[in-house]
Amino acid sequence: MSVDPVENPKMIKLVSAHGYHAISESYTKQAIYYNEDGTSYEKTYIRIDLKKQLLLTESRDRLEQGIAIVEELF
């Protein structure tokens, strides 16, 4: 997941509360946007990449599910 921490600090708080953590330093991106009349403009913004960190119990549950599937195959 990638979020602009400057323009959307509430989103950073929200995703952090749901187990996401930064996996990169903030970096700039450039994009070209188009108005309704067809004219374009360039905008530079800041992004930070985040990734959900699984809780130990979630990881263990997924591992157990994987083991059960393998055991069914053999």
Q: Tens of pLDDT along 8-65?
A: 889 988 888 888 888 888 899 999 999 999 999 999 999 999 998 766 566 667 667 7
Tokens 């309704």 belong to 36
Q: Kindly list the domain boundaries of the chain, sorted by start residue.
A: 2-73
Paired sense of beta strands 20-22 and 27-34, if any: unpaired
Q: Tens of pLDDT along 51-70?
A: 987 665 666 676 677 777 77
Cα–Cα distance measured from residue 38 to residue 69, given in angstroms and rounded to the nearest whole number: 54
> 35: number of CA atoms within 13 Å, CB side?
5
Tokens 């004219």 belong to 39
pTM of the model: 0.59
Cα–Cα distance measured from residue 13 to residue 35, given in angstroms and rounded to the nearest whole number: 31
Cα–Cα distance measured from residue 17 to residue 9, given in angstroms and rounded to the nearest whole number: 13
